[in-house]
């Protein structure tokens, strides 16, 4: 069950991990002043990636029929 979830959403999991690492990189090396806007940007980018992923999945599914 859990392995099916990982296999199904492995791209989204990788995107979330890399976006989180990006946030910590920015906050550690650049400073807190830029960290909070970057957190909002990374959350927004992750949301767009998830939305785009589901849009492509729905397009492929509708194209199959």
Q: What is the pLDDT of residues 28-55, one digit of tens each?
A: 777 666 667 777 777 787 787 777 776 6
- For residues 7-11, give the mean pLDDT: 70
Output the average pLDDT for the chain.
Answer: 70
Domain of residue 21 covers: 2-64
- 63 vs 65: CA distance, rounded Å: 6
Q: What is the pTM of this model?
A: 0.43
Q: Does residue 65 sit in helix, strand or coil?
A: coil
* pLDDT of 61 strictly over 60: no
Lowest mean pLDDT: which of 6-10, 21-25, 38-42? 6-10
Question: What is the number of domains present in the chain?
Answer: 1
């Amino acid at each position: 069950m859990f392995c099916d979830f990982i296999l199904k959403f492995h791209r989204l999991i990788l995107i979330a991990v890399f976006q989180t690492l990006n946030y910590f990189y920015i906050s550690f090396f650049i400073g807190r002043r830029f960290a909070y806007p970057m957190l909002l940007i990374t959350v927004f980018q992750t949301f767009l990636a998830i939305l785009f992923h589901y849009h492509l999945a729905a397009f492929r599914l509708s194209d199959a029929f």
